[in-house]
Amino acid sequence: MRIFSTDHKVIGLQYALTSLVFLAIGFIFILLIRWHLAWPTDPIPLIGALLGEARSADGVLLPDFYLQLGAMHGTTMVFLAVVPLAVGAFGNYLIPLMVGAPDMAFPRLNALSYWLYLLAGLVMMAGFFLPGGAASSGWTSYPPLANIATMGQTAWLLGMFVLVLSSMLNSINMIVTILQLRAPGLTLMRMPFFVWAMFVTSFLLLIAFPPLQAAAILQLMDRLAGTSFFMPSGLMVSGKALEATGGGSPILWQHLFWFLGHPEVYVLILPAFGIVAEVIANITRKPLWGFRAMVGAALFMGTMSFLVWAHHMFLTGMGPTMSGFFQVTTMIISIPSVIIISALVLSLSGGSIRFTVPGLFALGFLPMFAIGGLTGLPLGLAATDIPLHDTYYVIGHFHYIVAPGTLFALFAGIYYWYPKVTGRRMNDLLGKLHFWGSFIAMNGVFLPMFLQGLSGMNRRLYDGGRTYTAFRGFDGSFQIQAWSAAILGLVQLIFIVNFFMSLRRGATVGNNPWNATTLEWQTTSPPPAHNFAQTPTVHRDAYGYGINPGSKDPGLHRDFSPQGEP
């Protein structure tokens, strides 16, 4: 296997391994934070001593480093771990297989997109070794704070610039592959829901990311060329008037950032919906309930996601008219999510569900995403958002969507497609331990956040805000969260062991171990170069589960009809 390969399968695996490493890095960042919040004066065991004097005093995090960890945890998880895993890894590996294509439409651009992603990640991480450390103005990099931050912020901006290029190449590739390289007979409505989800996701990345690139260029100009795009007039820093022409608008950054930021939420969740839909159809042995409505909902959700961004900005004083508009659009966009999640739940009814490991993760996704989604409604209305803004309630809300939500879906996907990629199955018992351990530990971390947030606990306070009288009394819940996070980490070790052990010891499987219907299961495991011995022809829609009397197959006892078989 060549490192500089243009094969979409190799690139998909490169994306997968790199993003899993970033996932681990982002998780270590938060472990340090969790320890610090629970026991702010105790030195961090093991790693504390390695952090160095600039970052810790005798193993206790220093305030600046605490802020760097917070900003880089968010950045790493969203931009370098979850999206590249969902879109770069799953998308690259599976889309050509699912549409019956020999490769992506532009294989060389595909390789370039991976290497740019890696470069972007390294540039951002390099911030930790610059004087003043990494970016520390939150993952949202709000100016004027970010404008006057240390050099790490410049690394963050340069990394973001490169990352947007990478994401643009990947999404162009994805859209062209889906539209142009579909096998004969694979009409749009015959495409699996995962392909539809990736199609909408790619459009969101293509259209929503460039405004953040523009914002990054403007902030780089502010930091390097002394301009004042985001610097208001008369700004005082540390008691001194800042030397800048002024006249800029910090709110402009927020508009540009959230114009990406909100569609990004759907970039995080749509691939998860796609994976869960594939797995649920497979474990219930039934066609998806309301497939056409799900596709319509995904398209509507994608479109609406461009019209909701300012619900992140109710506190900027943009006025009741603007707030009113964005509240309405925000309430409207909850409808397609509910359609998709309801269709998935209804798909379960009447099925004889097979509780495989991917199935457990997919089923775990449903209530977790529901908690995350429903707790978001109060944040979409200005009256309730204003007191909850910047509290742990917000953190609880979006982590339920991306951590036990999207990450569970991604784990479901890893367990589900692992046999296709390696030709071996992952260990079931270890998989189940991984699921139940993660399920309990995730809730132990995130459930207390709602209560903390409702009591007013602010999201970014060093030492958990113990300096302030109002924020004392959270020690108990912070410690529950720290223990849960530690257990969550240990449970992931089971996954890592299982992942590598199964490469050699896993039970070997045939082409189609799950008796699934979509095209990727009709080639060998792992698929050969260029995927299919001959271009497949598609004869039916993606979920030919259940005994099909129309099938010419003599074995009517078989409960699935692959898309590629007549």
Partner 1 sequence: MNVPYTTARRSDTGVNNVTLGMWLFIASEVMLFGALFSSYALLRASATDWPSGPQTLSLLYGLINSVVLAALTSVVWRARSRSPQAARPLLLLANSLGSIFLIVKSLEYQHDITANLLPHVNTFLAMYFTLTGLHAAHVIAGVAANFWVVKGRVDDAMFAGRVRALALYWIFVDIVWLIIFIFMYLL
Binding site for partner 1 (CB under 8 A): 101-107, 168, 171-173, 175-176, 179-181, 206-211, 213-215, 217-218, 221, 225-229, 244-245, 247-249, 252, 255-256, 259, 529-530
Contact 391, 458 (CB under 8 A): yes
Contact 298, 188 (CB under 8 A): no
Query: CB-wise, 68 or 531, nearer to partner 1?
Result: 531
Query: CB-wise, 107 or 296, nearer to partner 1?
Result: 107
Maximum CA pair distance of the chain? 84
Contact 269, 405 (CB under 8 A): yes
Count of beta carbons in the 10 Å neighbourhood of residue 208: 24
Closest CA to 277 of 209, 216, 191, 352: 191
Cα–Cα distance, 150 to 179 (Å, whole number): 45
Smallest distance from partner 1 to CB 312, Å: 17
Query: CB-wise, 255 or 285, nearer to partner 1?
Result: 255
Smallest distance from partner 1 to CB 559, Å: 32
Smallest distance from partner 1 to CB 172, Å: 5
Torsion angles phi and psi, residue 242, rounded to 5: -80, 140
Smallest distance from partner 1 to CB 40, Å: 41
Q: How many CA atoms lie within 13 A of 173 on its CB side?
A: 30
Q: DSSP string of 507-544?
A: PB--S-TT---SGGGGS-SSPPTTS-SS-----S-S--
Cα–Cα distance, 371 to 402 (Å, whole number): 11
Contact 37, 465 (CB under 8 A): no
Smallest distance from partner 1 to CB 177, Å: 9
Query: CB-wise, 171 or 525, nearer to partner 1?
Result: 171
Strand partners, 152: 134
Torsion angles phi and psi, residue 500, rounded to 5: -80, -35
For residue 111, give every residue at least 6 positions away whose Cβ sits within 8 Å of its Cβ, in sequence order, or none: 4, 5, 6, 11
Cα–Cα distance, 58 to 50 (Å, whole number): 10
Query: What SS3 class is residue 337?
Result: helix
Cα–Cα distance, 279 to 394 (Å, whole number): 30
Smallest distance from partner 1 to CB 502, Å: 30
Smallest distance from partner 1 to CB 220, Å: 9
Smallest distance from partner 1 to CB 231, Å: 9
Count of beta carbons in the 10 Å neighbourhood of residue 549: 6
Cα–Cα distance, 413 to 401 (Å, whole number): 16
Query: CB-wise, 107 or 456, nearer to partner 1?
Result: 107
Query: CB-wise, 106 or 128, nearer to partner 1?
Result: 106
Query: CB-wise, 533 or 556, nearer to partner 1?
Result: 533
Cα–Cα distance, 32 to 47 (Å, whole number): 9
Query: CB-wise, 515 or 535, nearer to partner 1?
Result: 535
Q: Write the CA distances from 268 to 48, 160, 392, integer angstroms.
A: 32, 17, 20
Q: Which amino acid would we find at residue 336?
A: P
Query: CB-wise, 208 or 283, nearer to partner 1?
Result: 208
Q: Which amino acid would we find at residue 453?
A: G
Cα–Cα distance, 369 to 344 (Å, whole number): 12
Query: CB-wise, 119 or 214, nearer to partner 1?
Result: 214
Smallest distance from partner 1 to CB 373, Å: 27
Smallest distance from partner 1 to CB 213, Å: 6
Smallest distance from partner 1 to CB 157, Å: 14
Query: CB-wise, 514 or 532, nearer to partner 1?
Result: 532
Query: CB-wise, 213 or 518, nearer to partner 1?
Result: 213
Query: CB-wise, 173 or 422, nearer to partner 1?
Result: 173
Smallest distance from partner 1 to CB 222, Å: 8
For residue 429, give every residue at least 6 positions away whose Cβ sits within 8 Å of its Cβ, in sequence order, or none: none
Strand partners, 458: 391
Strand partners, 56: 61
Smallest distance from partner 1 to CB 316, Å: 13
